[in-house]
Chains A and B, each alone.
Chain A
Amino acid sequence: MEKNTLSVKEENVKEDKSSSKQKKPLSKKKKIAITISVVSLAVIAVVLIFFLRGCSSFFADAPSVTIETPDKKSASDHEQFSLELQLSSLGDALYPAASFSISFDSSKLEFLGIEEGNVMITDAQSVSGYQLPEWNVNVDYSNEVGQINLMYLDMTGGKYAFTNNALDRDGNVLLHLLFRLRGSARSGDIYELSFDDAIFAAADEANSLASSKDTLKTNNGRIVIGE
C-alpha cells in the first residue's frame, strides 16, 4: 500500500516535469507544501488501514510459522519439554492441507511426538463449526532421519480446512513439539530446529502459503544448553 502511494507521487512528479515546458516552475514554498500534503495524506491512509484491518496483519508482510525458542536447558535435564509451533496468520483462502519439514539433531535431541495446539480446521458438523486437526507424524522415522515431517490432509478437499476465521487472535499454536535431551547433549551446545519446508496448501496453488515461494515465512527455533 505504501509502495503504491509513493509510485503515484513519482508519476506526479514526472507529469510536473513534462508540463514545466509550458508552465512556470513551482516556487520552493509550493513544492514544500505539496510534499507535506502528500505525506499527510499517506499518514492518514496508514492510520485508517491500521484501525480498519487490525495492527497485527498490517505489520506482518507474510504469514509466518515459528518454532518457539525455549529458555536455556540443562544438559543434565532429561525431562520431556514442549516447543510451540506458532502461526502468525493465514491468507483469505481455505487451506485443506498443510505440511512442515523440520530438521533437528537426532543424536542430541529425541523427538517424542506432538500435542495439539489451538489452531483449528473448519467442521460444519461440529457445535462450534471447527475442530482440531489430526496431524500425521512418524516419531520413529523422525528420529531416524533427523527430520520431523508433519502433514495434515483434508481428503474432502476443503470441508475440513485451515482458515483465517479459526485463528485465535491471542496467539496461534498449530501444535506442540515434544522433545527430550539425549545423554550426548553437552553444555554450551546449540541445537537448531530448522524448517526445510512449510506450506499451507490451497486448492488453487496460487493461493497457497509456501516457504518455497516466500509466501509463508519460517522462523527457526533453537535450543541452547546452559551450564
Chain B
Amino acid sequence: MKLKTSRFIAVLLAAVMLVAALPISALAVNHSDEFNVVISMEGLTLGQGFYVKPKSYTLEEINTLLAKENYGPYAEDELTAGMATLAMLIDNGLEYHITGSWESDAYISEIADIDKGSVDIPSVITQNGGPGNNDHDGNSDKWLGEFDYSFMSGWMITVNDLMIPVGSSQFGLEDNNGSSGYQDYGNTYVIRWQFTLWGYGADLGHNNGWGSAAYYEHANKDMLYAAYADSNNAAAKASALKVMENLTATQNEVDAAIELLNNTSSENTGREAQSVKAVLNATLAQLAASIPAPVFGTTAGEWTVLSLARGGYYDTDSAYFNDYYSRIVETVQSTADSNGALHRVKSTENSRLILALASIGKDPTNVGGVNLVTPFDDFSWIPKQGINGPIFALIALDTQNYQTTDSTIRQQCVDYILNKQLADGGWALSGTAADPDITAMALQALVNYRGQATVAEAAEKGFGCLSAMQKDNGGFASWGSINSESIAQVIVACTAWGIKPDTDSRFVKNGHSAVDALLEFYIEEDAVFCHTMNGGSNAMATDQAAYALVAYDRLLNNKNSLYDMTDVTKQASASKDIAATLSLPEKIENIDGTSFNAIIDLTAWDAKAGYKLMDCIVSVPSELSVTDVTVGGRVSGGQLSYHLEESTGKLRIVYFDPQNGNDIVISGSSYPAEFLVIGFELNKDINIAITDRLSVAVTGMTLKKNSQSDNADSMTIVDITNASDNVKIVKGISYTAMVLYTGDDVDLISSNQTAIAIAVTGVNDGVKIKFNDGTNSIFPRYSASISAKTGVSTYVCMTTSSNLSAFAKASNYTIYDRTADSITFGDSNGDDIINAQDALASVNMWLRKADAPSGDEILSMNVNSDTRLNTFDALGIVEYFVNGDEFAVVDKAATLRNVID
C-alpha cells in the first residue's frame, strides 16, 4: 500500500510541478488508492512541535483501534473525522476530555501529558497582539486545551486543509468532498489537530470566519504530512520535519520537502549529501540538547565536543565550549600528576582531551597551568595501554602540531604502529586477525607520515584489509557483530586520507557504501545511533557516528579533515587569575520602569599586562532595557561604548581609548573590584505567574593587549564561570535580608551582634522603615552607597536577636512616610566627611582608647565587614580615601552573599 501511495504522491508532485503556477488547490487530484487517513496533533503555535507526528491509518486499522472501545466498524462513507481522531488517540494512548460524544458532536477540549512545558511562541503571533514567551497565561495542570496559555486557545481541526465548521464527529470524510476549501486527495484524507493560541485559528493561517483574518498565508502541508507518514527514509524525514514544524513555512519550502521525501526512498543505495547533512544536523542538535554540559570523559565529553566543534554546531568561542573548558580546567588541576598525565597508564586520557581542546581552539599546553603535552615526552608511558596509546598520541599531537621536547617521540609512535601491523595488513588490539576499528584508527594516525615509504606501503595494505573486511551491506563487524562504531572509524580513516567512503569502489559493496551502512543505524525518532542494528540508542555509537558524519561532510566540502585542526582559531587560555562575577539584586518589583543595577566585579587584575581594550557580551532578557553602562569608580583609561541588540538580547560593551590607546587601569589593590555597572529597567509590567525570575549572564569577556588576533598572548579570556545571576520578580513591596557579619568576641564586636542588610523593593528610595518582630524594634539606617550600587533601596542595622529569620518576614516591617536616618560607611564621627579623623577613630577604637562602640558605630566603622573592628578597618578607610577603593561592606551587601530565608 505504501509503495502505491508513494507512487501516487510522486505522480501528484509531478503534476504539481507542471502546474506550479497554479494555486495549491491544483494538488487536488482523484485517485483510486486504498482509503487511508493521515492524522497528526501539533503544537506549533507554542513552539512545541508535534505531539503526534503524522501517521497513516487504513480503514481496517482504524476500525481495529475503535473496536477496543466498542465503536464501529465503519465503512469509508461512514467514517467521520471524529472517529478517525479517536482511533489516533487510542493508538497513542492519550488521555482526553471532550465535549459532546464521539458519535455525534465531539470536540476535543484537552489532552493530558503532552504539554512540553517550555514554549517558544512564533513571532508572527506576538506581532499580531498575541502573548510572548514571557507574558502568556501559562498552563497550570497536565491538560493542554482550551484557555491554556491564553483565553483564545484551544484545539482546532483541519481536514484536507479545511478548518471544519462543525464538530469533528459531524464531519464525514467522504461526504464532505467538494466542500468549499476542502482539498481532494482522492482516498487520502489528512486530519491535523492544531493548538491555536491566539486569534481562534488566525495564528494557524486560517480565516476563522469570526472576524479574525489569517495572520499569514498558510502553506498546505497535507501532502507533506502524507509523504512523511509514508516515508521510511530517516534522513529525509528529519529534514522534512523541520519544515513541518515551521508554522509559517512557505509553500515552496513544503514542496521541496515533499520532493526530497519522494526522491529518497529507503531502497536508494546512493546517499544524497543533502540527506546525510540532515542526519548530521539532527544528530548534532540532539547531542547539544541532550548533553548541555559536557565534562571530561569518554561519553558526554570530549567526543561530543569534538563533533559539535568540528561540525560547526557551536562557535569555538561559544559559552557552551567556554563552560566546558572551565570544567576541564578544574578537572585537570585536580587530576593531573606533576607531569601533566591524567592517568597512570592510559595516555589516551591526555590524547582525547587534547583532541577536544584543539577542536575548540584551547591551548592544551596550558590548561589552568597544566601542560597536557609534557607527559608524551616519556615514550614508555604512551603504549602502556597497548596500540591505542601511540595511535591517539599521534592523532592528538598532530591536530595542531604540538611539540614534544623529545623530537623522536612521533617517529617512535609511527614505528610502534608499523611494527604492530598484522600479516593481513590490518591492526588489532591483540591476536593475529585485523580489527576494523583499530585498523581504521591506525590509518588515521599515520596519515601525516604518508611521505615515509614504509607508511605509504602500510597504509595501502591497511586500506586493502579494510576493504576486504567490508560486509555486503557496506558495514563492518568487530567482535562478531556489525556495528556502527566500526563503520564510523572506517569513514574517519577514509576521509583523513581523502578517500570518499560513499563512492570509492573499495568501500562500496553491492551498491552499499560505508556511509549507507552507517545511516542504517540511525534512529530518526530520537536523532541518535545504535551500536548494533535495532539495538537501541547508544551514546558512544552516537558520538562516533556524529564525528564520522562530520568527517564525511568536511570531505565533501573540501575542509580540513576531522583531526587536522590547523584551521581552528586558537583561543587564549581563560585566565583563572582574572574572573568576573555578576550580581543582581535578590528581588525587584514587577512594574514597568523598575530600575536596578547589575554589578560586574573582577576578582583580580594584571596591571603589568598592558590591556588596551575590554570587550564583553551580556545576555539580557527581553523584559529589560539597558538604561546605562558605566565603569567602576576605580577603572580608568578608556571610553565606554555599548549597544543592546534587541533581537538577540545581546548587550555588547567595549572599553578602550580610541585616541591615545591608553592602558586600562584599575587603581588600588583590593579585589574584587567593581568593573562595570549596567543599569537595567523593566520595559513592561511582568506577570509573575508566568515570569518570576529574570537572568542576566556575561557570555564572554576578553582583555586585549593588541590587535594580533592570531596570537594567543594578545588576549586574556576572563573566566566568566560565575558571571551570571538572576533576579526574582515580585509584586509590590518585598524585603530581602542578609547577614553582613556577626562578631566573634575578639575585637569590639560581640558574638551576639549581627549586622543585617535589608533590600526593599516597591518603596520610595530612602523612606523610613521599622523592623519589629515583637521582641526587637529597630529603625534600620538607609545606605545610599549600597542602594546606588544595586539600584534597590537598602538599609542596614545591628541586632542582638538570635531570631534572624524574622528579618526575612515582610510582616515584621512598617514603612513610614518620612526619610530614614542614613549611614555613611567609614564616617565614624558622622560629619559627612571621611578623612584622617575617621581612620584615627578606628585605630583608637582598636587600641581601646575610646569607649566600646555602639551598634551604629560598629556599622559605620567596620568597613571591611569582617567579624572585628580593628586596624584593617583603619586601613580600609585609608585605601578608600587615597585610592577610591570601595568599602568591602558595600560590595558584600550589594552582592547578597548570605540571604536569610
Contacts and interface: CB of A to CB of B under 8 A. Distances in A.
Interface string B651-695: 000000000000001011000000000000000000000000000
Nearest to A213: B831
A200 B668 CA distance: 24
A205 interface: yes
Contact of B837 (A136, A149, A210): A210
B849 interface: yes
A101 interface: yes
B276 interface: no
B440 interface: no
B667 A201 contact: no
A173 interface: no
Interface in B824-854: 829, 831, 833, 835-837, 839-841, 843-844, 847, 849
A153 B840 contact: yes
B569 interface: no
A140 to B, nearest CB: 5
Given A101-B835, A197-B835, A150 B882 contact: yes
Interface stretch (A38-46, A54-62, A91-99): A91-99
Contacts of A138: 667-668, 882-884
Contact of B843 (A98, A151, A155, A197): A155
A212 interface: yes
Contacts of A224: none
B849 A157 contact: yes
A137 interface: yes
B198 to A, nearest CB: 54
A141 interface: yes
A99 B835 contact: yes
Interface string B142-168: 000000000000000000000000000
A201 B833 CA distance: 13
A102 to B, nearest CB: 13
Interface in A165-190: none
Contacts of A98: 836
A30 B442 CA distance: 130
Contact of A141 (B835, B840, B871, B882): B882
Given A98-B836, A99-B835, A205 B667 contact: no
Contact of B881 (A140, A151, A212): A151
B849 A141 contact: no
A201 B884 contact: no
A119 to B, nearest CB: 15
A145 B881 CA distance: 12
B562 interface: no
Interface centre among B840, B874, B881, B884 (most CB of A within 10 A): B840
A152 interface: yes
Given A140-B667, A144-B667, A155-B871, A203 B836 contact: no
A116 interface: no
B809 interface: no
B839 A97 contact: yes
A120 interface: no
Contacts of A203: 840, 844, 849
A192 interface: no
A205 B884 contact: no
B840 A157 contact: yes
B636 interface: yes
A208 B837 contact: yes
A118 B674 CA distance: 38
B836 A212 contact: no
B881 A99 contact: yes
Given A154-B843, A155-B874, A99 B667 contact: no
A156 B668 CA distance: 24
Interface in B879-901: 881-884
Interface string A194-217: 000101111101001010100000
Interface string B34-62: 00000000000000000000000000000
Interface in A28-57: none
A145 B665 CA distance: 13
A201 B836 contact: yes
Contact of A212 (B831, B841, B844, B874): B831
B698 to A, nearest CB: 25
B611 to A, nearest CB: 15
B355 interface: no
B634 interface: yes
A177 to B, nearest CB: 15
A137 B884 CA distance: 11
B395 interface: no
Nearest to A200: B836
A158 B665 CA distance: 36
B668 A97 contact: no
Interface centre among B667, B836, B874, B883 (most CB of A within 10 A): B836
B784 to A, nearest CB: 19
Nearest to B871: A155
B878 interface: yes
Nearest to A203: B844
A141 B883 CA distance: 6
B668 to A, nearest CB: 7
A136 B840 contact: no
A212 B831 CA distance: 9
A152 B877 CA distance: 11
Contact of B836 (A99, A141, A145, A156): A99
B882 A149 contact: yes
B882 A136 contact: yes
Given A138-B667, A151-B878, A201 B831 contact: no
A109 B799 CA distance: 49
A138 B634 CA distance: 11
Contacts of B883: 138, 141
Interface centre among B668, B837, B883 (most CB of A within 10 A): B837
Contacts of B847: 156-157
Nearest to A198: B835
A201 B840 CA distance: 7
B636 A140 contact: yes
B279 to A, nearest CB: 58
A199 B882 contact: no
A152 B881 contact: no
A212 B847 CA distance: 26
A145 B884 contact: yes
Contacts of A137: 882
B881 A97 contact: no
Contact of A199 (B634, B636, B835, B871): B835
Given A138-B883, A201-B837, A203-B840, 15 more contacts: A96-B840, A137-B882, A140-B636, A140-B667, A141-B882, A141-B883, A149-B881, A149-B882, A151-B878, A153-B840, A156-B847, A157-B847, A202-B840, A205-B841, A208-B837
21 contacts: A97-B839, A99-B836, A99-B881, A136-B878, A136-B882, A137-B882, A138-B882, A138-B883, A140-B665, A141-B634, A149-B881, A150-B882, A151-B835, A151-B836, A151-B839, A153-B843, A153-B874, A155-B843, A157-B843, A200-B836, A201-B839
Query: Which 9 pairs from chain A and chain B are nearest by CB?
Result: A99-B836, A97-B836, A97-B840, A201-B837, A141-B667, A144-B636, A201-B836, A99-B835, A201-B840
